[in-house]
Each structure stands twice: as structure tokens, then as C-alpha cells.
Amino acid sequence: MAGSRIVIVGGGFGGLYTALNLCQFPWTDSTRPEIVLLSDERHFLFSPLLYEVVTGEMQSWEVAPPYEELLEGTPVQFQQANVQTVDLVQRRVEANGKSITGDYLVLAVGAKTQKPPIPGLREYALEFRTLADAERLRERLRLLLAREGVIRVVVVGAGPSGVELACKLADQLGPRGRVRIVERGQEILKTFSPFAREAAQAALERRGVWLNLATTVTEITADSITLHYKDQLDVLPVDLVVWTAGITTPGWIADLPTLHDDQGRLVVRPTLQLPDYPQVLALGDIAACVDEQGHAVPRTAQAAFQQADYAAWNLWALATGRSLLPFQYFHLGEMLTLGKEDAALSGLGLQLRGPVAYIARRLVYLWRLPTLKHRLQVGWHWLVAPWLDWVTSVMSARP
């Protein structure tokens, strides 16, 4: 279809990687589309490495490179835009008071942190989902470390974000830290393998992180948190609360006139198309997707990364009259960062933990960074930075 336009809403693993993959196909002059990528941020976020920004192990530019830099030399047009509404029939996006219409539409916005109506939650708890959240948390830790005494931290949620963050914070705070995880369920990392749960449990115990399972939060104030456990309320002093429990879809996604699941996600065919709108695809956190075998696809970066390959192929197929492919999810394994120079990794027949897993995790994520140029920049920095730090420490030690 000559002169067609593909509009991609959302610049995370699903949206950005779909755009980059589309550039790899052998388009002809008569089929080459205009590709527009919309995101409410100016930078991509490689979220699995966000913890390292808090601890200073990585810099913001490594984890969150600007879209302009990543898309340089590609035909993809980037526009920063806050989407208000989407017309599925016309494939029209309303954003920043302007309209943009595509022949094909990809919905790949991420989920948002779910905030139940708990008194004090919005006022006093920090989120951990964006680069701004990580930088806000890092600054808060700096202020807490600048004063004397113990530092009491509560992380709400024992999924991967909560467990990984608790380990990082415990290492960052050292002996002054009193870190606690609060989880309303009966176990940590509910959807993970026994190996990952065991490794995480051991890491938390080594760091002295307290676990409050089957426990809910009923109130948060500037210096306390109230916990409910077995018909008993406990009010604990706290210096910092980080909320990682639960995600939800953006409001405008829930308002779209199409099928949703009980979590508000868009129901899609195995080809990632909306059932009544074959020229609209959805993927990532907002898509209720099942693979060709009928298995539910998890809400993970790994799944969105794989879906981007199929979304790009199917868009190319729609535009060039080829057959579409049903999505096939391949579980590559699990990786958890469990503190500084500590991690757990399992998959493809391997089970690693400790410093070796930490290095392996870093290398896997380096390979998954969006562009070759950014991989080389980050990889070079990882090689050179330790030597520069050593030279700086030697020079500063000289009289």
C-alpha cells in the first residue's frame, strides 16, 4: 500500500522494538510506510536495569537513552505526545490537541502503578516504574544517608520489583538500613520458579530484610505505616515507603470500544490484532494475549520484546499481502538482581546465582539494548569506568 502510515503508541519494549524491527524489512518504494512513534517521554527506558540507577551502578543515559539518539539514521519519526483518546475505526490518535491518523495502529503503552484508596498512599509513598521515580528515590536515599541513625524502609509488594529493590536498598543502606517487604499474598515471587524463589529468599535473609506476608497496608503517614495481619493492626515507624504492588491499564485503554479481560487489558488474537479491528495491533502490558497453543502470555519485558518481532512481521504482512503469523511465546528463563554484584539466573538448562549470575545478567541485557550503537557505548563504559575509578582513587590518595 503506497504511502501508508503506521502509528505506534508507546515507546517501551513493545513499541520501540516494533518500530526498529519494521526498518529491517525489504520494503519497496511502493510499499515503504511512514512510521510514527508516539511516547509521553523523550527517552526509552530499559526497565530491568532501573535498580542500578538508584544505587549508582549505572548512569541514567545507559538505562534511558533519548529516542532521537536511538532512531537516528532510521525512517522512524518520533513525537513526544500525551495521548487522550484513540478512535479505533478511523485509527486516529488524539494527543496534545492534535490528531494523527494511520493506516495501521499499534497500541503498546505500558501499564501504570495501581494505587488503591489507602489513606496517605498518594501523598507519602514513592512509586518505582519510571526514570523520574528512580531519580526521586535516589535523592531521597541521599538525604536519609546524610543524617544520623537507622533508616527504616518498607517496600510494598513481593513481586520481582519489590524483591529486587529491597535487596538493592539493603546493600545501599548497609548496617543502618532496616528494610521490610510487605506482601498481601502468601509467598514472594508467586509466578517464578522454585529456584528463583529460593535464591531470592536466601538473598533477603543474608541482608536481614524482614518479610511480612499475608499482610495488607491500611494507612501511610509521613513517618509511619499501619499494617493489618490476622485481625491485628500494627503501626510501625518508617522513613521511606516504596509502592511496587499491582499494575493497571491507562484509563483511555479501558474506555476503548473493544473486548477487555477482567484486568482491563485489550483482548487480542494470536496475531496481536484486535478482534473487530484487524488493522489495529496491541501488545505488551495492555494486551491480554494467548499464544497459538492457548497459553496466556505473561506481562513481562521478555514477552513484549518477543511480541515486537511478530507485530513488525504482521504489519509488514498486512501491508504487502502476506500471511500473518500467530504469536509463539518462548520462555527464555528468569533473571533477578539480588543486590550489588549478586543475582540469580535460570533458563536454557542453566541455573546460576551470585557474582557469576550478576555478570551473565549484565551481558544478556547488554545484548538486548535497542541499537548496536547504544550497546557499544554502554559496553565500553562498563569496561572503562572501573579503571577510571581506580585511577581517580589512586590520584586522590596521593599527598
Q: What are phi and psi of 141, to 5 degrees?
A: -65, -40
Residue 394, pLDDT > 80, answer no
Segment 299-328, tens digit of pLDDT: 899 999 999 999 999 999 999 999 999 999
* 175 DSSP assignment: G
In the structure, what pLDDT confidence band is assigned to residue 292 with cuts at 50, 70 and 90?
confident
In the structure, what pLDDT confidence band is assigned to residue 391 with cuts at 50, 70 and 90?
low
Segment 179-225, tens digit of pLDDT: 999 999 999 999 999 999 999 999 999 999 999 999 999 999 999 99
- Spatial CA neighbour of 151 closest among 160, 165, 140, 159: 140
pLDDT, mean over the chain: 93
Residue 82, pLDDT > 70, answer yes
Q: How far is CA 75 from the centre of its chain?
A: 26
Residue 2, pLDDT > 60, answer no
Structural domain contains residue 47: no
Structural domain contains residue 67: no
Residues 125 and 236 in one domain: yes
Residues 120 and 238 in one domain: yes
Segment 168-182, tens digit of pLDDT: 999 999 999 999 999
In the structure, what pLDDT confidence band is assigned to residue 397 with cuts at 50, 70 and 90?
low
pLDDT reported for residue 168: 97
Picking from 197, 222, 245, the residue at the C-terminal end of a domain is: 245
Average pLDDT over residues 228-239: 96
In the structure, what pLDDT confidence band is assigned to residue 269 with cuts at 50, 70 and 90?
very high
Average pLDDT over residues 3-24: 95
Grid cell locating 141: 536515599
Grid cell locating 135: 531519580
pLDDT reported for residue 122: 95
Residues 100 and 125 in one domain: no
CA–CA gap between residue 53 and residue 129 (Å, rounded): 12
* 41 DSSP assignment: S
Residues 193 and 270 in one domain: no
Residues 138 and 175 in one domain: yes
Number of domains in the chain: 3
pLDDT reported for residue 202: 97
Sequence length of the chain is: 399
Structural domain contains residue 205: yes
Domain residue limits at 392: 334-397
Residues 196 and 288 in one domain: no
49 and 72 Cβ atoms separated by less than 8 Å: no
* 159 DSSP assignment: S
pLDDT reported for residue 291: 79
Residues 281 and 366 in one domain: no
CATH number at residue 196: 3.50.50.60
pLDDT reported for residue 393: 61
Alpha-carbon torsion (355, 357, 359, 365), positive or negative = negative
Structural domain contains residue 52: no
The position carrying cell 541499537 is: 371
pLDDT reported for residue 267: 96
Residue 386, pLDDT > 90, answer no
Picking from 245, 265, 282, the residue at the C-terminal end of a domain is: 245
Say whether 51 sits in a helix, a strand or coil: helix
Q: What are phi and psi of 297, to 5 degrees?
A: -90, 130
Residue 156, pLDDT > 80, answer yes
DSSP sequence for 195-206:
HHHHHHHHHHHH
Residues 104 and 190 in one domain: no
Residue 63, pLDDT > 60, answer yes
Residue 49, pLDDT > 70, answer yes
Range of 25-29, 161-165, 383-387 with top mean pLDDT = 161-165
Burial of 69 (0-12, 13-18, 19+ CB in 10 A): middle
Residue 289, pLDDT > 60, answer yes
Residues 274 and 343 in one domain: no
Residues 153 and 232 in one domain: yes
pLDDT reported for residue 1: 42
Grid cell locating 361: 545478567
Picking from 286, 320, 354, the residue at the C-terminal end of a domain is: 320
Residues 99 and 118 in one domain: no
Q: Please give the share of the chain, as a percent, with pLDDT higher than 90.
A: 85
